[in-house]
Structure 1
Amino acid sequence: MVRVILSTWLLALMLAAPVVADTRWPDQGWQVTPTSLAYAELLEVLREAVEAEGMFVVTEVGPTEAAASRGVTIPGNRVVGVFRNDYAVRILRLSVPAMIEAPMRFYVTENDDGSATLSWKTPSHLLSPYMDEAGEELEAIARELDARFAAIADRVAGASK
């Protein structure tokens, strides 16, 4: 009986404890922009920046709300897929397998201090495995997308000041 009560108490404690994970970002292929914006604010500013740079939010997914519905508290966490059809067509003409990388994603994470971070894998990093076969034209598209993603992040950073 004591074992069951102890096990139940430990399970309840684990479910109530906040999730804490490693926040070191990989060096290669990632860009990470800390902001002073709160999580919800950063998401809104990101959506506006994506539109202002002529791109579209095509997917959004995150575990925060689903975890909360199960009684588990985790920091805000959202993956925002961004792309545009003309890029899809251009990439498909060069490499069908490369389209697995679309939409390319921004990652919004809530920090312990209430601020949020914007991070992303650069399009050139995502598309690099396909460049040997697809050639310089795919590399040029990747550079265009790198510039667009950087411009989106610059808008977000500007709103954070």
Structure 2
Amino acid sequence: MRLQNVPLLEVQARWGYSELTDSPAARHYSDLGHLVAKRSSGTSFELLSEAEQYELAFGTACARPVLLAFLTGVISFDIVRVGRARLGSMLVPPNVWYPESEGRFVSFEEYMTTTGVKLDDPRSVLPKGPSYEFPTDPITFGRSFSFPILIDGFHRAARFWKYGPPDGKLLAYFPSGLVVED
């Protein structure tokens, strides 16, 4: 896996691949059954063809148009490690938790102090097993001007926030050129 200058198209495709199974968003990718089968069988992203990766990126754009607005001006991403303090300071867009958000951007830490009404709400996430395991897929940040905005991986981030080790760090796609300190 490339760690710097990961192209936007690849990040969008990986985002879609992560949502095909074991995600409340899987229903948005109903016409990608052949890729669901590959993900379910454990086929790694690297083994997908260029056409399949494009299908995933396009599917993500169709399923997540509002969140993709936060990729405006992003050309590539770097993979960084984000600890609890830095994750807590990142912004959550209002559409992720509308109508409770009342149109406000809030920090992830504040977002996690609120409760959701839907069963698949990330704030209601439960542990996957008897002990915490770090996710294999990075979470993804976009941007609004110079502010990092969490746009993908809310369940993974919430599970880390609630059950992960205090000194642990998540892998994250972060827009190249934005500064992240932890």
TM-score (norm 2): 0.27
Structure of greater Rg: 1
TM-score (norm 1): 0.30
Q: Which has the higher helix share?
A: 1
Q: Which has the higher strand share?
A: 1
